[in-house]
Amino acid sequence: MSSITYLKIDNVEMPAPTGISIQQNDLDSENTTRSVGTGVMHRERIRAGVYQCSYSWEQLTDAELATIVEAIAPESVTIDFWFGSYKTATGYFAAGPAEMTSEANGEPRWSYSTTFTEY
């Protein structure tokens, strides 16, 4: 069992994701353009390293799914996440699809995914 907490949302530990994808993006100003005639880019980067983190889970119980869905609901959240070391970011989540299957005993299990975008 890993001792890493992969994701906390507003200080609430989430179930360990089965999939994580993290990228860092740049934000450009409205003055960034590409010349149609020459194809030359005139770039004005205003911020580097903005996190976008996608998480997915498999075989969640109803309670685990509820924990995640409730945690991502606010307009703004602060997350602590693992990216080689612990990082902190503030932003919002876009909910993804929830798909249900069931165990042999009929208990529901959920697959769920969501994406966090840093402000």
Please report, in tens digits, the pLDDT of each residue of the chain (119 residues total).
568 999 999 999 999 999 999 999 998 888 888 888 888 888 888 899 999 999 999 999 999 999 999 999 999 999 999 999 999 999 999 989 999 998 888 899 999 999 999 99
Nearest alpha-carbon partner for 8 in 80, 87, 57, 69? 80
| Per-domain boundaries in the chain | 7-118
- Using CA atoms, how far residue 23 sits from 9, 14, 20, 35, 70, in Å, is 18, 20, 10, 28, 24
Instruction: Take residue 7 and report the two structure tokens written for it.
Output: 């994701």
pTM recorded for the entire structure: 0.86
Residues in Cβ contact with 61 at an 8 Å cutoff, skipping those fewer than 6 apart: 107, 108, 109, 110
